[in-house]
Structure 1
Amino acid sequence: MARYDMSSLDCGALGAAASGAVLLQLGMMHAIGRAVPVNRVEAHKWFNLAAREGVAEAARLRKELALEMTAEEIAEAQRAARRWLGLN
């Protein structure tokens, strides 16, 4: 996956109403290991949530990241996104 520069990130308090832009930045943090360990499952989860909010870049990055993941990892990320939304 391509590396992106995220020099600063100010997420504030997160909740169910987090903006798509914040969700995208969380995905980037986990995808590139900025301030957290690289975690493809977490990155996919956040990209998925951002894409749900209409962020086209998140949908593109989620698709790119999924090419590097197993079916089990993708399923785990999808379950995590549903849990974050309170659907499971």
Structure 2
Amino acid sequence: MARFDLQISDSGHAGGSAKTDILFEMGIMYATGRDCPIDLVAAHKWFNIAAIKGSDRAAELRAEVAQSMSKPDIASALRAAREWMTSH
């Protein structure tokens, strides 16, 4: 599993919006299993959405999570992110 440096994950994006920070934190939650089971597909989805919204750190962690995922899992995460973006 990828290693996450939680000391620097207090904000998903320097000067970012609260919404982007919440999306980033959702990725952290699923990637680390904070208050839920670890789910790399969900983590990738939320990091991807936060990255689209401008979080450079989310883009870095999305790539890190992807290294531990299969191609079908990455495709599933991308599909879930796309579905979320079109409905929100």
Q: What residue in structure 1 maps to residue 14 of structure 2?
A: none
Q: Is 1:86–2:86 an aligned residue pair? A: yes
Q: CA-to-partner distance for each residue in 1:26-80, whole Å, 9 max, x for gaps?
A: 0000000001110000000000000001100000000011111111000000000
Where in structure 2 are there 5+ consecutive unaligned residues?
8-17
TM-score by length of 1: 0.79
Distance 2:37 2:75 in 1: 20
Distance 1:35 1:80 in 2: 21
- Which structure dedicates a bigger proportion of its chain to helix? 2
What is the number of equivalent residue pairs in this alignment? Answer: 76
Q: What residue in structure 2 maps to residue 46 of structure 1?
A: 46
Identity of aligned residues (%): 43
Where in structure 1 are there 5+ consecutive unaligned residues?
7-17
TM-score by length of 2: 0.79
Distance 1:3 1:51 in 2: 16
Please, what is the CA RMSD of the aligned residues?
A: 1.7
